[in-house]
Amino acid sequence: MKIRKIVTLSEETLTEGNRPVSPAARVAVAIAVLENPWAGQGFVEDLTDGIEATASDLGALLTPKVVEALGAPIEAYGKAAIVGINGEIEHGSALIHTLKFGDHYRRAAQATTLLPAVEKRAAAGTVFDIPMKHITDATIRSHHQTVEVRIADAPHPGEILIALAASAQGRPQERLAPLSTER
């Protein structure tokens, strides 16, 4: 695994809808920008070797970084794979849609739900949204949220940007009725 850079982002929303948010709504993202393990090989039929060489180590690297950046228990989470324009979307999917990657995060968050994800091919500096859902019940509406991310110089054409996102709560000032109230 050849990592060019690691970025961590965190934010606290203190006011929403002209009302204070207390406690502040915390969101964090940990990002690794790495060389695409399949770059320059043409079409690779079996992605197993790259998955085995990269996915688990990447999950082990990013998980403690997002946990530390959040600085609070995780209630909602998500992931992203943004592939540089010389790669395939499947290259990013191969790295994040495996238990070798995701179980590091699920264990740290004490989560039972699948990690929602975004995957796309994009040029450096593309804005992308990472979807998040509740860690144990994906039907809890308050925790359906996204965090917008942009890394100005990533991914390069032969790179993949992999990210984990975490939230310490639902959306600030959420007030939708529970899904169970609709018939």
Instruction: Return the beta strands (E) in the chain as ranges.
Output: 3-16, 19-35, 76-83, 117-121, 128-134, 145-149, 159-167
Q: Label residue 180 by pLDDT band (50, 70, 90).
A: confident
Q: Looking at residue 182, what is its pLDDT? A: 76
- Cα 84 to Cα 154: distance, rounded to the nearest angstrom: 8
> Model confidence over 16-35: pLDDT tens digits?
999 999 999 999 999 999 99
In a domain, 63, yes or no: yes
Which ranges constitute the DSSP H helices of 71-98? 89-96
In a domain, 98, yes or no: yes
Q: Which residues pair with 82 in a beta bridge?
A: 120, 161
What's the CATH number where 135 sits? 3.30.1330.110
Q: What is the pTM of this model?
A: 0.95
DSSP-derived 3-state class of residue 90: helix
Q: Looking at residue 144, what is its pLDDT? A: 94
Which ranges constitute the DSSP H helices of the chain? 48-70, 89-96, 99-109
Residue 177 has pLDDT above 80, yes or no: no
**Count of domains for the chain:** 1
> Model confidence over 83-138: pLDDT tens digits?
999 999 999 999 999 999 999 999 999 999 999 999 999 999 999 999 999 999 98
In a domain, 85, yes or no: yes
Q: Looking at residue 181, what is its pLDDT? A: 76
Q: Looking at residue 70, what is its pLDDT? A: 98
Give the range of the structural domain holding residue 160, as residue numbers without chain letter.
3-13+23-115+124-173
The rounded mean pLDDT for the chain is 95
Beta carbons within 8 Å of 123's beta carbon, 6+ residues apart: 84, 85
